[in-house]
């Protein structure tokens, strides 16, 4: 996070965000800001409410109460604008395996409303940057996992979104591929993209500028990894996580 | 170690499997002792799932042989099936059945009952019983995996094959899952599990590193650091991306990777002591304006060894 980015408007502004399903409160009055260009880790046990919170932040689910602004737009009243200004990559990857690399880029470029010229330019640019020139007309299903991931991430930021949401991008991925993926995250953040990321790898929590930990729908802790380790008097984020999440772990 | 069929674990010899022109397994040999908790780690596509499916008798090998509990995976497949529990990588229970219906269904398929499986199932059942009436599809990730483990145990198998049982499961639920595995191991079960998580691999008695359809190494995770042939240095500074690039540009740089809150550095020149490498880095980083850099020689862990073995042989280390 650069000093100039920190002075800008927050990329994400969440105030009292709440979502209930019947009698069950999945997200319970959460508030936080994410600065532009920040890498923000959004952690929590399975069932803690992360997915529900993310679905609200990307404009797919209306909040029951509270507000959230993402990339300058209100998620409840300007959901379509939110979707246009964010990128999203779901667990593992979100490409069409039966389409070629070029077809995937073209498809997503079209969905994001890029012109044909822009799509052609982006395709050339990505092919060079990702060293995929020879694989452009290869079906995505035939690529190694590491390449699919780089491509999925690049496609998620094809339209230069201000904020990119990465939902467990490294689930089930080997240590080498995970590190290569995080280097892309660093580069995107250094270029000014705000990165909102979930992970179950606690060593990856250390790579974030700040992390929040959700427990039973609420944010139980928020700070830099060093602050959280110090606050709980433990050596690793894994221990921080276990301390916080243990009470709700049975559900 | 016993040669009798009742005491044997797993014996794999020269196993090979191709899918068209893709070699999934290439001359794999490994022995798992009875009662062992044995891990498989390796990148996606390494061949781990193919190996598990052959051991589960769901796939025939092209070459070589495999014995599970002393029985041949091709000739004795029916005898093997009733004595092993298999958890495939993908959630494979019935999402529209309740927790209890799934369990009773799997018990019935094996010609037994939930009550008869009590001995092995009880510790896990205690944890999921509060959700007995819930649809399996509506469980959290960690609970789904506990239910799947329960279903794999209901017919009282002697051996478990778990293919990435905790992928997508949070850190706390993963710990609890592995606590259960250790409890089952103490009860006498032989357990083979693959995992992308190095903290889980560290809980195994032995671990096989798999890549490109081959087993690169089999090691005791507590002693795996001995496989590392050069000093490992951990470096910390506030400006991480700049530090990463600076270390990569160091003339002696071998491998340079983010590792939790530090960056792990090895020198390409194998003859240098850890202290000397650390001293050189200290001078180097001072010149590059990292006044806050902390440098220390550390013991390599399983993840360091894994990545060192995974690196392409003709890599950037030269």
- What pLDDT, in 10s, does the model give residues A5-25? 445 689 999 999 999 999 999
Name the pairing type of β-strands B71-72 and B294-298: unpaired
On whether any CB of chain A is under 8 Å from the CB of B137, the answer is no
Q: What is the separation of C-alpha B176 from the centre of its chain, rounded to a whole number of angstroms? A: 16
Residue with tokens 């790579």: A207
- What pLDDT, in 10s, does the model give residues B186-206? 999 999 999 988 889 999 999
Residue B55 neighbours by CB under 8 Å, 6+ apart: B10, B12, B66, B68, B73, B84, B161, B192
- What pLDDT, in 10s, does the model give residues B54-70? 999 999 999 999 999 99
Give the CA distances from residue A169 to residues A181, A197, A211, B271, in Å, rounded to whole numbers and listed in that order.
8, 8, 16, 39
ipTM given for this complex: 0.80
Chain B residues with CB-CB distance to A245 below 8 A? 170-172
**Structural contact between residues B62 and B136, judged by C-beta atoms closer than 8 angstroms:** no
Please indicate whether, in this complex, the C-beta atoms of A186 and B199 are within 8 angstroms of each other. Answer: no
| DSSP sequence for A27-72 | EEEEEEEE-TT-EEEEEE-TTSSHHHHHHHHTTSS--SEEEEEETT
The whole-angstrom distance between B239's CA and the closest CA on chain A is: 10
* Beta partners for residue B265, in sequence order: B233, B256
Share of chain B above pLDDT 90, in %: 71
State mean pLDDT over B251-259. Answer: 92
Chain A residues with CB-CB distance to B259 below 8 A? 203
Query: What is the pLDDT confidence band of residue B289, given thresholds at 50, 70 and 90?
Result: very high
**A164's tokens:** 């990119």
Please indicate whether, in this complex, the C-beta atoms of B141 and A47 are within 8 angstroms of each other. Answer: yes
**Distance separating alpha carbons of residues B191 and B185, to the nearest angstrom:** 7
Please indicate whether, in this complex, the C-beta atoms of B42 and A174 are within 8 angstroms of each other. Answer: yes
pLDDT attached to residue B26: 96
pLDDT attached to residue A90: 83
- What pLDDT, in 10s, does the model give residues B8-41? 899 999 999 999 988 999 999 999 999 999 999 9
Chain B residues with CB-CB distance to A238 below 8 A? 171, 199
pLDDT attached to residue A7: 53
CB < 8 Å from A in window 212-231 of B: none
Q: At what angle do helices A237-245 and A225-232 cross, to 10 degrees?
A: 60
Count of CB pairs separated by less than 8 Å, A with B: 104
Q: Rg for chain B (alpha carbons), in Å?
A: 23
Average pLDDT of every residue of chain B: 90
pLDDT attached to residue B92: 84
Please tell me the total number of residues recorded for chain A in this structure.
Answer: 251
Please indicate whether, in this complex, the C-beta atoms of B140 and A47 are within 8 angstroms of each other. Answer: yes
Chain A residues with CB-CB distance to B258 below 8 A? 179, 182-183, 207
* Tens digit of each residue's pLDDT, chain A (251 residues): 444 444 568 999 999 999 999 999 999 999 999 999 999 999 998 889 999 999 999 999 999 999 999 999 999 999 999 999 999 998 756 799 999 999 999 999 998 889 999 999 999 999 998 888 899 999 998 888 778 888 999 999 999 999 999 998 888 788 888 898 898 898 899 889 999 999 988 889 999 999 999 999 999 999 999 999 999 999 999 999 989 987 544 33
Please indicate whether, in this complex, the C-beta atoms of B173 and A46 are within 8 angstroms of each other. Answer: yes
B1 pLDDT above the threshold of 60 = no
* Beta partners for residue B296, in sequence order: B234
Give the count of beta carbons closer than 10 Å to the beta carbon of residue A44.
Answer: 26
- Please give the model's pTM, rounded to 2 decimal places: 0.86
Which residue of A lies nearest to B165 if distances are taken between CA atoms? A172
Please indicate whether, in this complex, the C-beta atoms of B143 and A179 are within 8 angstroms of each other. Answer: no
Q: What is the separation of C-alpha B30 from the centre of its chain, rounded to a whole number of angstroms? A: 15
Please indicate whether, in this complex, the C-beta atoms of A44 and B307 are within 8 angstroms of each other. Answer: no
Chain B residues with CB-CB distance to A225 below 8 A? 261
The residue of A21, A174, A206, A216 whose CB has the most chain B CBs within 10 angstroms, and thus the best one to mutate to test that interface, is: A174
Name the pairing type of β-strands A210-215 and A39-44: parallel
Please indicate whether, in this complex, the C-beta atoms of A200 and B140 are within 8 angstroms of each other. Answer: no
pLDDT attached to residue B78: 95
pLDDT attached to residue B287: 94
**B267's tokens:** 């020198």
B286 pLDDT above the threshold of 70 = yes
Query: What is the pLDDT confidence band of residue B104, given thresholds at 50, 70 and 90?
Result: very high
State mean pLDDT over B62-86. Answer: 97
pLDDT attached to residue B38: 98
Which residue of A lies nearest to B173 if distances are taken between CA atoms? A249
On whether any CB of chain B is under 8 Å from the CB of A191, the answer is no
pLDDT attached to residue A96: 93
């Amino acid at each position: 996070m650069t000093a100039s980015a920190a002075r800008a408007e927050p990329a994400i502004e969440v105030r009292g965000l709440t979502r209930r399903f019947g009698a069950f409160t999945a997200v319970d009055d959460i508030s936080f800001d994410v600065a532009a260009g920040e890498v923000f880790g959004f952690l929590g046990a399975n069932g803690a409410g992360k997915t529900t919170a993310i679905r609200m932040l990307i404009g797919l689910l209306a909040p029951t109460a509270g507000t959230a602004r993402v990339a300058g737009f209100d998620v409840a009243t300007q959901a379509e604008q939110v979707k246009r200004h964010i990128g999203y990559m779901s667990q593992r990857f979100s490409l069409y395996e039966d389409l070629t690399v070029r077809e995937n880029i073209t498809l997503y470029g079209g969905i994001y409303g890029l012109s044909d010229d822009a799509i052609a330019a982006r395709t050339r640019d990505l092919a060079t940057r990702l060293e995929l020139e020879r694989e452009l007309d290869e079906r995505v299903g035939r690529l190694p996992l590491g390449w699919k991931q780089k491509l999925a991430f690049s496609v998620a930021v094809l339209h230069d979104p201000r904020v990119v949401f990465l939902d467990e991008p490294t689930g089930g991925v080997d240590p080498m591929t995970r590190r290569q993926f995080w280097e892309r995250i660093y580069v995107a953040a250094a270029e000014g993209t705000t990165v909102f990321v979930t992970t179950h790898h606690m060593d990856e929590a250390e790579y974030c500028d700040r992390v929040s930990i959700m427990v039973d729908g609420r944010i139980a802790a928020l700070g830099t990894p060093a602050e959280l380790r110090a606050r709980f008097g433990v050596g690793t984020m894994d221990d921080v996580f276990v301390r916080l999440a243990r009470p709700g772990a049975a559900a | 170690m016993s040669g009798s069929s009742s005491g044997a674990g797993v014996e794999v010899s020269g196993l090979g499997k191709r899918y068209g022109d893709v070699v999934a397994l290439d001359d794999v040999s490994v022995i798992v002792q009875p009662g062992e908790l044995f891990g498989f780690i390796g990148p996606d596509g390494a061949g781990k799932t193919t190996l598990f499916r052959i051991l589960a008798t769901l796939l025939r090998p092209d070459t070589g042989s495999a014995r599970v509990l002393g029985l041949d995976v091709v000739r004795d497949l029916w005898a093997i099936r009733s004595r092993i529990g298999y958890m495939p990588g993908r959630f494979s229970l019935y999402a529209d059945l309740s927790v209890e219906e799934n369990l009773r269904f799997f018990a019935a398929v094996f010609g037994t009952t939930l009550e008869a499986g009590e001995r092995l199932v009880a510790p896990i059942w205690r944890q999921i019983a509060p959700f007995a009436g819930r649809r399996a599809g509506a469980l959290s990730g960690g609970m789904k995996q506990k239910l799947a483990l329960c279903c794999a145990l209901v017919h009282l198998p002697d051996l478990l094959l778990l293919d990435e049982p905790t992928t997508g499961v949070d850190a706390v639920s993963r710990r609890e899952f592995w606590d259960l595995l250790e409890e089952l191991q103490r009860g006498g079960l032989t357990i083979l599990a693959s995992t992308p998580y190095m903290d889980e691999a560290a809980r195994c008695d032995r671990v096989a590193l798999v890549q490109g359809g081959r087993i690169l190494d089999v090691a005791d995770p507590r002693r795996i650091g001995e496989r590392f042939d050069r000093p490992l240095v951990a470096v910390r500074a506030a400006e991480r991306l700049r530090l990463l690039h600076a270390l990569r540009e160091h003339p002696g740089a071998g491998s340079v990777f983010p590792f939790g809150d530090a960056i792990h550095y090895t020198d390409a020149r194998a003859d240098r002591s850890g202290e000397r490498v650390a001293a050189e880095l200290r001078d180097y980083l001072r010149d590059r304006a990292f006044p806050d850099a902390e440098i220390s020689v550390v013991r390599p862990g399983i993840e360091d060894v894994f990545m060192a073995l995974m690196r392409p042989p003709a890599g950037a280390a030269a």
